[in-house]
Amino acid sequence: MLASQLPDSDPALFLGWDDAFLDAADQGGPETIWFWESPAPFVVVGYGQQVEREVDTEACRRRAIPVLRRCSGGGTVVQGPGCLSYGLALRIDPAGPTATITGTNHWVMERQRRAMATLLGDGVHVRGHTDLALATASGERKFSGNAQRRKRDALLFHGTILLHFDLPLIADVLRPPSLEPDYRGKRGHLDFVVETGLAKSAVIAALCSEWRAAGQHPSPPTAVAEAAAGRYRQPEWNLRR
């Protein structure tokens, strides 16, 4: 597997890389893991979500925080400094752990849990379908959310890991989620999420070790720009629901 750290960019281009890496793998290219951290905040809703239901759009307008829609399912997240994002482009093996959505979730999340446990200890658990939670004195608190998108021969599995993030911003711009895992227990955002306090370099090294990733994926700038222009810069895509 190849590894790549993306340069600083804007929200539409960051999301465009997901499409580009997934399409490359689906067309026979290498499996890849990549990482990025946005220098400015933005909100990302899941593919099937209603923006006004999940996001306080007026608060986002006041703060000049863009709202975009990603190509995968899952819940709404706030990106920005101190939130590390990663993506995996994996081939679908009909006889292996990536054959089904559920099997992929279990296989990838266990590997993610194992990698993060090397840094955070045995208190790291997979919760819900694709959350990573940390056992604390106030209960299990989420520090990583993840989602999946599948094509014919490859899949995208991507997510976020809270390092040193502006947690109050989450409560300021997001509404209570329309769907929540049982372990959340109706807790508000600030009682449910937690920072890991980890260095970005340490997390990247742990994940690359778990996935045995090295080297550098050749950049597909044309595909990234096309995905950004065709989807993530379009209000018809981002705000369609």
Angle between helices 101-120 and 200-210 (to 10 degrees): 130
Domain 2-238: CATH architecture, name and number where available:
2-Layer Sandwich (3.30)
Q: Secondary structure of 101-154 in the HEC alphabet?
A: HHHHHHHHHHHHHHHHHHHHCCCEEEECCCEEEEEECCEEEEEEEEEEEECCCE
Model confidence at 94: pLDDT above 90: yes
CA distances from 175 to 63, 149, 172, 224, 232 (A): 16, 24, 8, 30, 22
Would you state the structure tokens that stand for residue 95, as one six-digit string? 């006889």
Give the pLDDT confidence score for residue 58 in this predicted structure.
97
Average pLDDT over residues 116-138: 95
Q: Please check whether residue 49 is in contact with residue 241, taking contact to mean a CB–CB distance below 8 angstroms.
A: yes
Distance, first Cα to last Cα, the chain: 36
Mean pLDDT confidence for 170-175 = 97
In the beta sheet, which residues pair with residue 134? 124, 141
* Cβ within 8 Å of residue 230, ≥6 positions away: none
Report residue 60 as tokens.
């986002």
More confident residue, 226 or 219: 226
| Residue 222 to residue 220: CA distance in whole angstroms | 6
Specify which residues 146 forms β-bridges with.
159
Is 129 a residue whose pLDDT tops 70?
yes
- pLDDT confidence tier of residue 54, bands split at 50, 70 and 90: very high
The rounded percent of the chain whose pLDDT value lies above 90 is: 88
User: Which H/E stretch holds residue 186?
Assistant: none
**pTM as predicted:** 0.94
Chain position carrying tokens 């899952």? 74
Give the whole-angstrom CA distance, residue 118 versus residue 73. Answer: 28
Residue 182 in tokens: 């049982």
Residue 13 contacts residue 42 (beta carbons within 8 Å): no
Domain boundaries, the chain: 2-238
Q: Provide the mean pLDDT of the chain.
A: 94
DSSP at 217: P
**pLDDT at 120 > cutoff 70:** yes
**Residue 115 burial (CB < 10 Å; 0-12/13-18/19+)?**
buried
